[in-house]
Structure 1
Amino acid sequence: MSKGIVIDPITRIEGHLSISIDVASHQIVQAHSKGEMFRGFEVILKGRNPLDAQQITQRICGVCPVSHGMASILAQDQAYGIHLPENGRLLRNLILGANYIQSHIIHFYHLAALDFVDIAAIAQYQGQDPALQDLKSWLRAQGKTQALYPAAPFLPRYEGAYLQDTELNLIAIRHYLEALEMRALAQKMGALFSGKMPHVASLVPGGVTEKVTAQNIGAYRSMLHKLRAFIDHHYLPDVVAVAKAFPDYFRIGRGPANFMAYGVFPESNQDDRRLFPSGVLINGQLGDFDPMLITEDPTHAFYQGADELAPTRGETKPWPKKEGAYTWLKAPRYGGQVVEVGPLARMLVAYHRDQPASVRPLIDRLLGELNLTTGDLMSTMGRHAARALECKVVADRCAEWVDALRPGEPSCSAFTIPAKAVGVGITEAPRGALGHWLEIDNGKVDRYQCVVPTTWNCSPRDRRDQPGAVEQALVGTPIADEKNPIEATRVVRSFDPCIACAVH
């Protein structure tokens, strides 16, 4: 006999997500992922000037707006037949790279780490570190009693097994505070070329409006140097420390074990080479990515229609009282298959393609240190490890891109908007594969469809009753205490869900 548990809301994620699980013999046997709102960006865009798209779609999310802006201008680049100048390509990569770095840092330290770190360890702290002493004083000031009683953002949370090593807890808490500064620094770094962060102003079809100057190059280099040091000396070691303390999570949260990456960070304006290549891993076999195999299934979503439609024919017609529906997320599928997207998918595809050359040695070194195989990465802890390694690869490559900028040379190409055109913007947000599909008629947006990372990962069952990636990852997860299902939240947060994006 199973017992139903509803976790609503899942805290420390972006947006409103509810997870319903059935638990039998202290193990999850079934799960449903529920996005709980409708926004309608695709409807808002219809009839608008196409140049509004990259600004409006950035408002889908405040954490990864750059990715939506990038997908939108890539779709317009294709629709208008634009060829970018070299500075335009490099600036786009540098802006997106800064957004990746801040997103990965905030996910581990400020969203997910508190699933493992015992903030109560600060109560026993007797050292002289000013930041920790200030935090200790602040936490005590929030207390309802004389004992230390941590307040938001550290509560509410479930009780469970946290890090037992007091020193590791204190190090993690110290780095939590430093990560706040690092995230702000990454935002400032991106704003040098984007005008502002978030919701950047300089992304346009044809390139980037910001001019390249020696001053901005120097400032970006300086900030990036500090971020790379934090990633190498704090972020990566902290992930390894947590992984060693919670080795069971390399066997929990597997999911469908099918992965897809669109590819991101173009390395040339003449061909399709990208820092992270495109590809799919289906049943362990590496294959080429084919965008024509993407469909969205609304069977169990609060939308009209029952057919699996390609994004070029996609519809956004809400139906809040639809029988059999339980979420505002559609169910994207690749060739009918459930796939996982995100840093783990990108790193696994890169590992199998051996591109870029830095990925395989980094992964092999980590696996050797933890005595694991690549199969173990398909897990809750594997997602954290992949995200940290990717953060290093992106930051290191940003150092090369910024050196390749040429002050005084153009960063944007001229263009005209045709009366009729179509375009597809395929890229990767920090959380995974992102596509924008644009159709222009009479110079206006006639159809706009977004298929975003968390819609892939947190999707519902489809017409064949295949659960989505998160729903599959939850099944088999052990639940020690049904009143404190912390194990389930650890699995869900490892995907870094963004429900604001997913329901767009």
Structure 2
Amino acid sequence: MTATQPRTSSTDTTGLTEMSWDPITRIVGSLGIYTKIDFSQGRVAECHSTSSIFRGYSIFMKGKDPRDAHFITSRICGICGDNHATCSVYNQNMAFRVRPPHLGEWIINLGEAAEYMFDHNIFQENLVGVDYCEKMISETNPGVLELANRTESPHGADHGYRTIGDIMRALNPFTGEFYREALQVSRYTREMFCLMEGRHVHPSTLYPGGVGTHATIQLFTDYYTRLMRYVEFMKKVVPMHDDLWDFMYEALPGYEEVGRRRVLLGCWGSLNDPEHCDFDYENMTSWGRRMFVSPGVVVDGTLVTNDLVEINLGIRILLGHSFYRDWEDQETFVTHDPLGNPVDRRHPWNQHTIPAPQKRDFDEKYSWTMSPRWFDGQDFLPLDTGGGPLARLWATALGGLVDCGFVKATGDSVEIHLPRTVLKPEAHFVWRPPTDKQGSPLSNAIERNRARTYFQAYSAAVALHFIEQALAEVRGGHTRTWEKFTVPDEAVSCGFTEAVRGVLSHHMVIRGGRIANYHPYPPTPWNGSVRDTHGTPGPYEDAVQNTPIFEENPRERFKGIDIMRAVRSFDPCLPCGVHMYLGEGRELHTTHTPGGLNLL
């Protein structure tokens, strides 16, 4: 087993060694990381992030029936397609002025919670966990493995692994006990999603106005039994990962700098409360704050806003060093939002996607990923999602708005309560915004991974609340799951939620009953963005630049494990950042001849 090998290696006159990893492994192969490394100082000096395929959904959405938006945008990704479908349905609900029955919304919440559990589990344990397994550590930091084998696990009684080395061996791909267990967990969490929305990853029962799921006591019981298995699993996972992440800090002093960047976090909120959410833009500030994952922008550890209207109006799409032509000479679709607030020319409602392919040049244009930024009135902030969970937990904790019995946001922490299960007593976990030894807010590779574990427990806890609410609806005879609607001739709408790996928004303009403009913005364009118009690097680039090198291998056998940990901590998923568009195309005519089949 080896870490991703660099594709190129050369040393320039400054003494910096150029190394690239393209494609990054364990994800769809469209992400490239190009670096210059100062081996004499043990530090990455420069980084560029690239996406190698053009994104085109915003182009071929034009002219489509708005009712088809969620079916089409679900195909943006084969991993988090249901997140796109859900966000698109929220967008449609706003455009169509429809409010689903409460039961329909609880079912959607149960599906999305199951998706968080499924996707975070398979990535954390079967993809990013490999970066910390015994096989990997033995090839990159054998001294660390020796120490791990001698170090007792502080919470061994909770997870069953006596030493940190035992945890690392359990993470070995295909042979590790925990690795295999996590694969089984991924199976039944996907079943949980399918119970609610019919099919994973492209839901077959999700529509604007609600869902087509036939809601019965049996349906929710089948979900409930699997959920309690997952609850029991998380009572093992949280203490196990805490032991592993804490050990990495102890074994490698200074490791908190790997993947570290300034705390600039964005969360758009998720899991609506049907008691408050009516999908009206005019009320979005209010119902956005009642989500079970709170929206928020966190800058240097401070919550700047949790107002979805303000978040929406602050979004800017900068082209920077990406392969696109500006749209200054194109039509402006929206000048003011439904509340009368001015809408910027670079807002997604007004964006035009005009590809301009050219040779990659890191001094000029070098990627198909644009540069989404959030404008705070003074600066264009390169927000990242912390891989999703770090931003979600941070914004929710500081917001102090969530309290449903199983989870509570206190203003400086998130409390997670998991009830008694068959083999384990009740458990209580507390996540607090991380800080370094000097007390400064900390966003780095380890804390992104740690937050992912805690958010798995959070998802299970809120799902317990959702299942109780859904059962109460059915027992009360409120079994409708869908509300009829009409498609307007003209509309301006948006949907906000959290895809597994971070912020997700869909913006739509309807004219003449058809889609005139549509722009989905998932987490990858935010996390993987290129240097913007002002020269500010994107989050991947920023997190890798200045990352120290702790790998023990010499330059000749360097694998780049610390760089890979920094990038993979964001849970990169490039299908959401790149797509192909063939223009007008070319028609193929099929003719049958005596000699066989000809394509003309």
TM-score (normalised: structure 2): 0.74
Q: Distance in 2 between matches of 1:13 and 1:495?
A: 12
> Pairwise mapping of residues 202-213 of structure 1 onto structure 2 (< 5 A)?
202-213=205-216
The residue that corresponds to 2:166 in the other structure is 167
Q: Where does structure 1 differ by over 6 angstroms across 4 or more consecutive aligned residues?
A: 367-374
Q: Secondary structure at the match of 1:286?
A: strand
Q: Distance in 2 between matches of 1:266 and 1:373?
A: 37
How far the C-alpha of 1:35 sits from its partner, in A, is 1.0
Q: Distance in 1 between matches of 2:292 and 2:203?
A: 23
Q: Distance in 1 between matches of 2:129 and 2:437?
A: 22
The residue that corresponds to 1:136 in the other structure is none
2:301 equivalent to 1:284: yes
Tell which deviates more after alignment, 304-313 or 206-215.
Answer: 304-313
Segments of 5+ residues of structure 1 without an aligned counterpart are: 122-156
Q: Distance in 1 between matches of 2:123 and 2:439?
A: 23
Q: Secondary structure at the match of 2:32?
A: strand
CA distance 1:434–1:158, change in 2 (3 Å): farther
For the 8 Å contact 1:46–1:447, the answer to whether it is kept is yes
Give the residue type in structure 2 aligned to 1:492. Answer: V
How far the C-alpha of 1:252 sits from its partner, in A, is 2.0
The residue that corresponds to 1:490 in the other structure is 565
The residue that corresponds to 2:453 in the other structure is 388
Give the residue type in structure 2 aligned to 1:263. Answer: G
The residue that corresponds to 2:246 in the other structure is 244
Q: Distance in 1 between matches of 2:97 and 2:84?
A: 20
For the 8 Å contact 2:64–2:515, the answer to whether it is kept is yes
Give the residue type in structure 1 aligned to 2:80. Answer: C
Give the residue type in structure 2 aligned to 1:256. Answer: R
Q: Secondary structure at the match of 1:410?
A: coil
Give the residue type in structure 2 aligned to 1:343. Answer: P
2:338 equivalent to 1:263: no
How far the C-alpha of 1:170 sits from its partner, in A, is 3.0
How far the C-alpha of 1:369 sits from its partner, in A, is 12
Q: Distance in 2 between matches of 1:450 and 1:283?
A: 27
Q: Distance in 2 between matches of 1:362 and 1:76?
A: 34
The residue that corresponds to 1:451 in the other structure is 521
> Pairwise mapping of residues 156-235 of structure 1 onto structure 2 (< 5 A)?
159-161=140-142, 163=145, 164-165=148-149, 166-172=165-171, 173-233=176-236, 235=237
The residue that corresponds to 1:331 in the other structure is 371
Q: Distance in 2 between matches of 1:84 and 1:459?
A: 35
How far the C-alpha of 1:14 sits from its partner, in A, is 3.8
Q: Distance in 2 between matches of 1:472 and 1:239?
A: 26
The residue that corresponds to 2:21 in the other structure is 7
How far the C-alpha of 1:85 sits from its partner, in A, is 0.8
How far the C-alpha of 1:17 sits from its partner, in A, is 0.5
Cα deviations by residue, 1:191-238 (Å, 9 ceiling, x for unpaired) = 0011111111111101111121111011000010111111221x2123
For the 8 Å contact 2:19–2:36, the answer to whether it is kept is yes
Cα deviations by residue, 1:127-169 (Å, 9 ceiling, x for unpaired) = xxxxxxxxxxxxxxxxxxxxxxxxxxxxxx9744564434223
Give the residue type in structure 1 aligned to 2:346. Answer: L
For the 8 Å contact 1:260–1:433, the answer to whether it is kept is yes
The residue that corresponds to 2:356 in the other structure is 319
Aligned identity (percent) is 29
Q: Distance in 2 between matches of 1:107 and 1:440?
A: 37
Q: Distance in 2 between matches of 1:361 and 1:297?
A: 34
Cα deviations by residue, 1:103-130 (Å, 9 ceiling, x for unpaired) = 1101111110111102489xxxxxxxxx
Give the residue type in structure 2 aligned to 1:340. Answer: D
For the 8 Å contact 1:459–1:467, the answer to whether it is kept is yes
How far the C-alpha of 1:254 sits from its partner, in A, is 1.7
Q: Distance in 2 between matches of 1:371 and 1:494?
A: 18
Give the number of the structure whose alpha-carbon radius of gyration is greater: 2
2:544 equivalent to 1:474: yes
Q: Distance in 1 between matches of 2:317 and 2:136?
A: 45
Cα deviations by residue, 1:54-85 (Å, 9 ceiling, x for unpaired) = 11111111211111001111111000101121
For the 8 Å contact 1:299–1:305, the answer to whether it is kept is no
How far the C-alpha of 1:367 sits from its partner, in A, is 6.4
The residue that corresponds to 1:152 in the other structure is none
Cα deviations by residue, 1:153-190 (Å, 9 ceiling, x for unpaired) = xxxx9744564434223333211101111111111011
CA distance 1:94–1:252, change in 2 (3 Å): same
Give the residue type in structure 1 aligned to 2:273. Answer: E
> Pairwise mapping of residues 21-420 of structure 1 onto structure 2 (< 5 A)?
21-24=35-38, 25-119=41-135, 159-161=140-142, 163=145, 164-165=148-149, 166-172=165-171, 173-233=176-236, 235-247=237-249, 248-271=254-277, 272=287, 273-288=290-305, 289=307, 290=310, 291-305=312-326, 309-321=346-358, 324-335=364-375, 336-341=380-385, 342-357=388-403, 358-359=408-409, 360=413, 362=415, 365=430, 375=440, 377-405=442-470, 406-407=473-474, 409-420=479-490
Give the residue type in structure 1 aligned to 2:271. Answer: F
CA distance 1:401–1:297, change in 2 (3 Å): same
Q: Distance in 1 between matches of 2:355 and 2:205?
A: 33
Tell which deviates more after alignment, 485-494 or 253-262.
Answer: 253-262
Give the residue type in structure 1 aligned to 2:347. Answer: A
Q: Secondary structure at the match of 1:178?
A: helix
How far the C-alpha of 1:442 sits from its partner, in A, is 1.6
Q: Secondary structure at the match of 2:365?
A: coil
For the 8 Å contact 1:268–1:274, the answer to whether it is kept is no
For the 8 Å contact 1:300–1:460, the answer to whether it is kept is yes
CA distance 1:287–1:367, change in 2 (3 Å): closer
Q: Secondary structure at the match of 1:246?
A: helix
For the 8 Å contact 2:316–2:347, the answer to whether it is kept is yes
How far the C-alpha of 1:301 sits from its partner, in A, is 0.8
The residue that corresponds to 2:11 in the other structure is none
For the 8 Å contact 1:158–1:484, the answer to whether it is kept is no
Q: Distance in 2 between matches of 1:339 and 1:120?
A: 31
Q: Distance in 2 between matches of 1:174 and 1:21?
A: 35
Q: Secondary structure at the match of 1:266?
A: coil
**Does 1 or 2 have the higher relative contact order (CA < 8 Å, sep 6+)?**
1
TM-score (normalised: structure 1): 0.88
How far the C-alpha of 1:344 sits from its partner, in A, is 0.6
Residues matched between the structures, number? 468
Segments of 5+ residues of structure 2 without an aligned counterpart are: 1-13, 150-164, 278-286, 329-344, 417-428, 580-600
Q: Secondary structure at the match of 1:447?
A: strand
